[in-house]
């Protein structure tokens, strides 16, 4: 479309010149194509409030199986809208959040390879929402010091794109830990998330604290991890969410309690999650239902791990 429009723009739309029929036809065709593209974008942007309502409805969903069945079609619809309006940062972030949620809740426990591919999509959508372009294009190649400097100049408006890029990047890395080239990429993701932590520590249910809580636990003391720092981040996440987001406890059991070989804490924490009220936080009902589902799965492997 862009190449055709550029060629058409070079033709003056005046039907009184030589070859007027060809030129006039080309002008009309180019304007029709451009108008069609504009109408597509207008339609997509007009639908964004409805999409926000859909996301809020999904977050309140009580039936996990219904959510699992509905999400793939919703994700493909969002990607179709992205195709029509690829520079729409808000739409890109909807796609990133959706792919992350679907992969985390339903794919990762059964198929790490497929989950890695979905986390890659998630990261790419979030990365497309990053501004300025220099930051977006330099994530993989800039020296770490320069990357830190550029990220330090981002403001609060960059928090969603930084958060989802880092989250999806780190989850992709988690699915590929057998590859030694992955570890440097985790540090790049951490650079982005540290800025989110500085700008809005409570973003997405204290997500920045959960990121570092898991990172410090997974690495362990030998690889630069720190169990004490991990515990502090989990505690702060619990404080910021009022103890109403059960995923905090699930992640602490899976990554910190398990790393410490603390079976009693692992077991007690997951039992508390399962027994927690279903209406603990209505706007995070789906997340809490997924947390209960994952708590049951982790408890089923307790004898294997301890």
Start-end of H helices in the chain = 2-9, 20-59, 64-84, 89-102, 112-128, 133-138, 144-152, 159-174, 183-199, 203-219, 227-240, 247-251, 258-259, 263-275, 285-299, 302-305
Residue 195, token pair as written in the block: 């800025």
Confidence of residue 106 (pLDDT cuts 50, 70, 90): very high
pTM (two decimals): 0.84
How far apart (Å, rounded) are the C-alpha atoms in residues 119 and 122? 5
Confidence of residue 47 (pLDDT cuts 50, 70, 90): low
Confidence of residue 133 (pLDDT cuts 50, 70, 90): confident
Residue 281, phi then psi, degrees to nearest 5: -145, 95
Residue 198, token pair as written in the block: 């500085």
CB-facing half-sphere around the CA of 126: CA atoms within 13 A: 27
Is the confidence at residue 174, as pLDDT, over 70?
Answer: yes
Confidence of residue 288 (pLDDT cuts 50, 70, 90): very high
* Closest C-alpha to 270, from 287, 282, 252, 286: 252
Burial class, 143, CB count within 10 angstroms (exposed 0-12 / middle 13-18 / buried 19+): exposed
How far apart (Å, rounded) are the C-alpha atoms in residues 290 and 246? 9
Confidence of residue 44 (pLDDT cuts 50, 70, 90): low
Task: Return the residue matching tokens 């007009």.
Answer: 46
How far apart (Å, rounded) are the C-alpha atoms in residues 186 and 60? 31
Pick the more confident residue, 108 or 17. 108
Confidence of residue 29 (pLDDT cuts 50, 70, 90): very low
Confidence of residue 138 (pLDDT cuts 50, 70, 90): confident
Note the pLDDT tens digit of each residue in 215-226. 999 987 777 789
Residue 18, token pair as written in the block: 């030589």
Confidence of residue 8 (pLDDT cuts 50, 70, 90): very low
Q: Are 171 and 211 spatial neighbours (Cβ–Cβ below 8 Å)?
A: no
Task: Return the residue matching tokens 């309140």.
Answer: 60
Confidence of residue 137 (pLDDT cuts 50, 70, 90): confident
Q: What average pLDDT does range 23-40 have in this prediction?
A: 50
Confidence of residue 114 (pLDDT cuts 50, 70, 90): very high
Residue 104, token pair as written in the block: 């985390």
Is the confidence at residue 2, as pLDDT, over 50?
Answer: no
Pick the more confident residue, 101 or 44. 101
Q: Find all residues with CB under 8 Å of 278, minimum gap 6, and list them.
A: 62, 285, 288, 289
Q: What average pLDDT does range 5-26 have in this prediction?
A: 41
How far apart (Å, rounded) are the C-alpha atoms in residues 192 and 186? 10
* Closest C-alpha to 130, from 196, 198, 34, 43: 196
Confidence of residue 10 (pLDDT cuts 50, 70, 90): very low
> Phi-psi bin for 245: left (phi > 0), alpha (psi -120 to 50), beta?
beta
Q: Degrees (nearest 5) of the Cα angle 231, 233, 238? A: 95
């Amino acid at each position: 479309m862009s190449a055709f429009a550029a060629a058409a723009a070079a033709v003056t739309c005046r039907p009184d010149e030589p070859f007027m029929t060809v030129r006039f036809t080309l002008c009309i065709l180019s304007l029709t194509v451009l108008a069609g593209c504009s109408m597509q974008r207008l339609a997509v942007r007009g639908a964004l409030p409805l999409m926000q309502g859909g996301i809020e409805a999904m977050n309140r969903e009580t039936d996990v199986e219904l959510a699992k069945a509905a999400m793939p079609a919703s994700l493909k619809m969002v990607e179709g809208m992205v195709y029509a309006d690829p520079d729409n940062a808000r739409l890109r972030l909807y796609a990133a959040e959706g792919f992350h949620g679907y992969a985390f809740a339903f794919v990762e426990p059964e198929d790490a390879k497929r989950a890695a591919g979905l986390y890659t999509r998630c990261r790419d959508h979030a990365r497309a929402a990053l501004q300025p372009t220099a930051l977006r294009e330099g994530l993989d190649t800039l020296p770490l010091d320069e990357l830190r400097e550029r990220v330090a100049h981002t403001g609060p408006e960059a928090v969603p794109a930084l958060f989802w890029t880092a989250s999806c990047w780190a989850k992709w890395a988690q699915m590929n830990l057998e590859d030694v080239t992955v570890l440097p990429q985790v540090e790049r993701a951490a650079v982005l998330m540290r800025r989110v932590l500085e700008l809005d520590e409570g973003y997405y249910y204290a997500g920045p604290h959960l990121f570092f809580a898991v990172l410090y636990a997974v690495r362990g003391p030998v690889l630069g991890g720190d169990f004490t720092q991990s515990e502090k981040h989990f505690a702060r996440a619990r404080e910021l969410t009022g103890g109403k987001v059960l995923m905090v406890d699930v992640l602490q059991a899976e990554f910190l309690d398990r790393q410490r070989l603390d079976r009693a804490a692992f077991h007690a924490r997951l039992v508390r999650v399962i027994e927690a009220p279903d209406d603990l936080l209505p706007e995070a009902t789906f997340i809490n239902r997924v947390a209960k589902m994952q708590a049951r799965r982790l408890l089923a492997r307790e004898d294997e791990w301890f």
